Amino acid sequence: MQKRKLGQNGPEVPAIVLGGNVYGWTLSEADSFRQLDHALDAGLTFIDTADVYSRWVAGHHGGESEIILGKWFAKSGRRRDVLLATKVGIEMGEGKSGLGPRYIAQAVDDSLRRLQTDYIDLYQAHTDDAQTPLEETLGAFDKLVKAGKVRYIGASNYSGPRLAEALEVSRSNGLAAYVSLQPHYNLVERQGFETDLLPVVEKYGLGVIPYFALAAGFLTGKYRRGTDATQSARAGMVAKYRNERGYAVVDALVEIAKTHNATPAQVAMAWLLAQHGVTAPIASATSDSQLHDLIAAADLKLDAASLRRLTEVSDPGQP
């Protein structure tokens, strides 16, 4: 699998990131272990999770994904083969949220315990915390880097101006700086990243690892005109894409996939990989075929005409 540099100051990483949000949610522990074994054997060694996964499930409290990963590390002995990313900041219970220094110090130790490891490769602010001064947040992250608990830090769900401000705070105070951004970006979610965040990414040389690379499954070709999506677990998440522009994007993906002997999912991720600034899209898998899509997408090269067609048909200005 091809590798890319995660921004100017980050590590070299595989071109696809394996999403760990499904571990303990839609994948059992046993199936998660099996997927992780297969993924690493195929070179898919960059895994992204978060402390809050999967708190949204009835009876869950958060930490379920990290716990499964920790058990797999202990069983497989392959921690050193993985570039591990997790996140902090979204509510984990009363008094457990935000990016204040005291909470970050507590949250990282909780994640390390669940993950059964003594370091995190990429520790990310899951969402901006406007209530905490950036100097305090970045100072807390800086302490973790100096203590060896964290190798690199990244940001997710920041606006362009706040991201730029955070990077300037790090620069002016000599603190650890974000090396990466995890934004919401895919063929049907383009405007926010391309207009607000890309200029900041380019200026500061950040790596970009977009989440929802397949738009909650919409870009896999599963949802077509006239199909009934109401029974899907992600029906609510894809409802906003079920319009003429969304269907036109899916139609183009299906047609281009046929010409490249690929799947629509592979083509959608290959388009992302071809976009300026993007390092490695994040996508999760709940089956062997979906995992194969992720692995194959890393090496799929789309011709200029296919890239142009997808860019045009997904233009945010289209109705």
Report in angstroms the alpha-carbon separations of 255 from 248, 258, 284, 304.
11, 5, 24, 15
Asked if the structure places residue 2 within a domain, the reply is: no
Catalytic residue chosen out of the listed positions 23, 53, 223, 241: 53
> Does 266 map to a domain?
no
Please report the pLDDT score of residue 262 as a whole number.
98
Is 137 part of any domain? Answer: yes
Residue 156 counted as domain residue: yes
Number of structural domains (the chain) is: 1
Quick check: is 287 in a domain? no
Give the range of the structural domain holding residue 78, as residue numbers without chain letter: 13-182
- pTM equals 0.95
How confident is the model over 162-202, as pLDDT tens digits? 999 999 999 999 999 999 999 999 999 999 999 999 999 99
Q: What is the CATH number of the domain that holds 173?
A: 3.20.20.100
Residue 304 domain-assigned (yes or no): no
Residue 192 belongs to a domain:
no
Helix or strand (DSSP H, E) at 169? helix 160-173
**21, 36, 107, 114, 297 from 71: Cα distances, Å:** 16, 12, 19, 8, 28
Angle CA(113)–CA(117)–CA(120) in degrees, nearest 5?
Answer: 100
Name the strand (E) or helix (H) holding 84: strand 83-88
Among this protein's residues, is 158 annotated catalytic?
no
Does an H or E element contain 208, and which? strand 207-208
Q: How confident is the model at residue 134 (pLDDT cuts 50, 70, 90)?
A: very high
- The answer to the question of residue 271 being in a domain is no
* pLDDT bracket for residue 238 (50, 70, 90): confident
For residue 53, how many C-alpha atoms fall within 13 Å in the half-sphere facing its CB?
A: 25
* Residue 222 pLDDT: 85
